Amino acid sequence: MADPICTIVMPTLDLDRGAQTMRLARSTAGIDTDGLLLVDYKMRGAVKLNNALFKAALHLETPFICYLNDDTIPSQRDWLKLLIQGLRMNNRYGMACPSGECSTTPQKSGKPGDPFEVHVVKGPLAWFVAAVRAEALRDVGLFDEGFIHYGDESDWVQRAMRKGWKQIWVKGVYIQHLRGNHNENGQLRNQWAKHDKRRYRKKWVHKPKGGTGDG
């Protein structure tokens, strides 16, 4: 068996749900992968878990790391292979996201069955799935643990772009994202969201806003 070229990392609040999503993701990825799953038993928020997962993935030394939400259904055959194919088109493409159910342009415009296309995006995308070059993660550093659960990935993308890394949207990959289906710990999540939104605005509200473009 070939050495894995990507490690899939997933924080979760529900071990059974996370394990089920991880099994599906690895079976449909189209490449050999490692998989790391971490359960937030202490309800600390995803950011600390994400950083622990990223540290472990970097230790495994796969050239790519894929962050995956547990509330996704990665059923498209070769989904991860295609995301990495997009990243390999340019050595400054540092992170790649698919289409899916979200409010973010242009991802929300993608549909199942779209042809393979790569677009450089100048603003943060929704990271329900994101394939990242390990080299970019080492260069930019881990997530800012001043965030608790939300906004950490958008903050990271802003930092990455200022170091010359480009983020791409891969139109030919569509991952179903079960947005809004989880109501557990709703009050705590709302508190986290308010805190993280304030922190993101404090760091980036005065920064120039980006758009999207082909590249």
User: Read out DSSP for 14-38?
Assistant: -HHHHHHHHHHHHHHSSS-EEEEEE
Domain harbouring 99, CATH code = 3.90.550.10
Range of the domain at 11: 6-204
Residue 73 included in any domain? yes
Structure tokens at 148: 């608790």
Report percent pLDDT > 90 for the chain.
77
Query: Would residue 212 count as lying in a domain?
Result: no
52-97: per-residue pLDDT in tens?
999 999 999 999 999 999 999 999 999 999 999 999 999 999 999 9
Residue 115 in this model has a pLDDT that exceeds 80: yes
Task: Report which of 103, 101, 93, 111 is spatially closest to residue 171, judged by C-alpha positions.
Answer: 111
* Cα distance between the two ends of the chain: 35
Whole-angstrom distance, CA of residue 182 vs CA of residue 187: 12
* 121 located within any domain: yes
Could you give the number of structural domains in the chain?
1
Within-domain flag for 209: no
Instruction: Say if 17 falls within a structural domain.
Output: yes
Q: Would you report the helix, strand and coil content of the chain in percent, each value rounded to 5?
A: 35, 25, 40
Assigned domain for 213 exists: no
In this prediction the pTM is: 0.90
User: Is 179 part of any domain?
Assistant: yes
Task: Report the run of H or E that residue 58 belongs to, with start and end.
Answer: helix 46-60
Which residue, 156, 182, 181, 179, is CA-closest to 167?
A: 156
Has residue 211 been placed in a domain? no
Between helices 15-28 and 79-87, what is the axis angle to 10°?
A: 70
How far, rounded to the nearest angstrom, does the alpha carbon of residue 115 sit from its chain's CA centroid? 21
The string of pLDDT tens digits covering residues 154-207 is: 999 999 999 999 999 999 999 999 965 445 567 888 898 899 999 999 998 865
